[in-house]
Amino acid sequence: MNIVFTGSRQFANGIREAAEISGMTLSGFVRKALIRYCTQQYQQAVDNAAANRKIIELQRQLKKSLADRKVQDPNVYEDEKALAEKAEHFEETAELWQGVLEKLLMSEEYLKDKKAADEEEEEEE
């Protein structure tokens, strides 16, 4: 159990140091890192879905080309149904990541607007 506490403490200290080096607040640094991570996960899911759809398309072209030559090898092809299911899974995952990103970015906009309003209030006083 001590290993978990030590690891957590070291991780937290590393984040604090990274935030200091970048000149950001701890919460700002964590928010930016989280947005970056979510963006990467979203893009990876979108890319994976597109890749699976492209494989289906290319396999169909290959089957047609080989059929014209009267050559077929069923062991060459991936199951289209499985590929389509994978693509759908990645598309659903991309939508989930997009939802997370929208929430994070909306809350970030809210924080910016609130900060600007607070600064305006201070200037008026």
pLDDT digit string, tens, across residues 43-64: 999 999 999 999 999 988 888 8
SS3 string, the chain, reads CHHHHHHHHHHHHHHHHHHHHHCCCHHHHHHHHHHHHHHHHHHHHHHHHHHHHHHHHHHHHHHHHHHHCCCCCHHHCCCHHHHHHHHHHHHHHHHHHHHHHHHHHHHHHHHHHHHHHHHHHHHHC
pTM (2 d.p.): 0.67
Extents of the domains making up the chain:
28-124
- CA pair distance 26, 113, nearest whole angstrom: 19
Predicted pLDDT of residue 96: 93
